[in-house]
Amino acid sequence: MILISIFSLLLSFQGTTTSTLEDHEFHVSKTLLEYKANEQSLQVTLNIFTDDLDLALEKKINEKLFLCTEKEHPESDTHLIAYFKQKFSIKINSEKSELIWIGKEPSDDLASVWCYLEIKEISKLEALDVQNNLLMELFEDQKNIVQIIGPEKKSGYFMFQKGNDSDSIIF
């Protein structure tokens, strides 16, 4: 119950508009992993502050991408995918899974970006191993919250931070 309260509190802060990196009082991302048995897929929805993600990618490739703006770099999706594959991974039933890029869109307040990925051909989901160290190379206080909706709507949460960036759940 405490974790759900913390999750709700952090999500309420996520929607606040920020204009510069200095405006952040905290650093958090949120992810939803939802298993769709009828589609045999795991749908992945990530929400990350746009300026933080832009900064991480800029440090990685030495070029600003201007995510979700009119000046967005034409190769931004390619760089995003490479970053996610380096910093975010999922094993399904103890086997490494391939994340398929679906797309991205800005949040309504333009403070964050929604990124959509998918893992296909999952006939049965018995266990998930998640590693999420997004933005941890930049911020000591980075927290990455992962909500999981598994088979038969069974659910769970992880909160990752520096030094604790992976966990598992068995259904």
Give the pLDDT confidence of 85-100 residue by residue, as tens digits. 999 999 999 999 999 9
Q: What is the chain's length? A: 171
Q: How confident is the model at residue 110 (pLDDT cuts 50, 70, 90)?
A: confident
pLDDT at 14 over 70: no
91-94 CB contacts, 8 Å cutoff, 24+ apart: 91/127, 91/128, 91/129, 92/42, 92/119, 92/122, 92/125, 92/127, 92/128, 93/124, 93/125, 93/126, 93/127, 94/127, 94/129
Q: Give the pLDDT confidence of 35-71 residue by residue, as tens digits.
A: 999 999 999 999 999 999 999 999 999 999 999 999 9
Task: Grade residue 18 by pLDDT with cuts at 50, 70 and 90.
Answer: very low
Assign 1 a pLDDT band (cuts: 50, 70, 90).
very low
Distances in Å between the alpha carbon of 162 and those of 29, 52, 76?
A: 13, 16, 26
CA dist 90 to 101, 137, 149, Å? Answer: 14, 19, 14
Tokens matching residue 91: 């094993």
Run of H or E residues at 88 = strand 88-92
| Mean pLDDT score, 131-142 | 96
Query: What is the pLDDT averaged over residues 151-157?
Result: 92
pTM of the model: 0.84
Q: Which residues, 6 or more positions from 147, have their beta carbon under 8 angstroms from its beta carbon?
A: 7, 30, 31, 32, 33, 155, 156, 157
Average pLDDT over residues 130-150: 97
